[in-house]
């Protein structure tokens, strides 16, 4: 008797809680649409393929919302920049620049400006999470985000500029390659922010 009741209970659970084929299809269709939306949005950036590959895994949460896409892009940029800031700081503390005073100065300056870039992106992300305005208020909120993201990108570029007078070597090549990759991610994030601003009549979630 107990086994019969258990079997009925399991059957009922399967019938009531298993998503229907229509629901599963709708979810799948929504993800596909969101993926296509990210691909199309990334076409407006300077590095569209990098933009797409770095953001496509967030398609389900982004859906087709430009504010969410900009917010996620900033978050990804912040994460990459923060990891690199820690990496550069460790290089500086270990003295991996050798006996070259120019390399030492460039690495120290790079660590400083990347710290600033991380702070600016963090401010941008916090602002995006607090968006609640419309019209002129929204424009003001987004102008702050644009300013901070532009400043972050400038700080990242300052890092590589500082290595121009440093003799070629493994440390310089390593840092510059890593910084360029983060700069590209940040550039894409700024482009998506600008795209959202241009389309600011879209309701913010």
- Pick 204 or 177 by higher pLDDT: 177
Q: Determine the Cα angle at 22 with ends 18 and 25, to 5°.
A: 100
Minimum mean pLDDT among 18-22, 89-93, 143-147, 155-159: which range? 18-22
Residues 151, 101: Cα–Cα separation, whole Å: 27
Helix, strand, coil percentages for the chain (3-state, nearest 5): 80, 0, 20
Cβ atoms within 10 Å, residue 2 = 6
Q: What confidence score (pLDDT) does residue 30 get?
A: 62
pTM of the model: 0.81
Sign of the Cα pseudo-torsion (69, 74, 77, 79, in order): negative
Mean pLDDT for the chain? 84
Sorted by where each starts, the structural domains of the chain and their CATH numbers stand as 2-198 (1.20.140.40)
User: Could you report the per-residue pLDDT of 100-127, keeping only the tens digit for each?
Assistant: 899 999 999 999 999 999 999 999 999 9
């Amino acid at each position: 008797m107990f086994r019969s009741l258990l079997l009925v209970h399991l059957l009922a659970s399967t019938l009531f809680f298993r998503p229907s084929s229509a629901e599963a299809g709708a979810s799948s269709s929504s993800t596909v649409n969101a993926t296509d939306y990210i691909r199309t949005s990334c076409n407006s950036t300077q590095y569209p393929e990098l933009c797409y590959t770095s953001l496509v895994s967030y398609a389900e949460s982004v859906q087709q919302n430009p504010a969410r896409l900009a917010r996620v892009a900033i978050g990804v940029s912040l994460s990459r920049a923060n990891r690199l800031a820690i990496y550069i700081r460790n290089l500086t503390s270990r003295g991996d620049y050798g006996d070259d005073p120019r390399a030492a100065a460039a690495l120290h300056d790079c660590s400083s400006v990347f710290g600033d870039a991380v702070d600016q992106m963090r401010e941008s992300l916090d602002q995006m999470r607090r968006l609640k305005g419309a019209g002129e208020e929204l424009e003001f909120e987004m102008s702050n985000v644009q300013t901070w993201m532009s400043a972050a990108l400038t700080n990242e570029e300052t890092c590589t500029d500082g290595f121009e007078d440093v003799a070629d070597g493994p440390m310089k090549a390593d840092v510059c390659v890593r910084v360029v990759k983060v700069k590209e991610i940040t550039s894409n994030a700024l482009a998506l922010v600008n795209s959202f601003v241009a389309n600011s009549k879209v309701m913010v979630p």
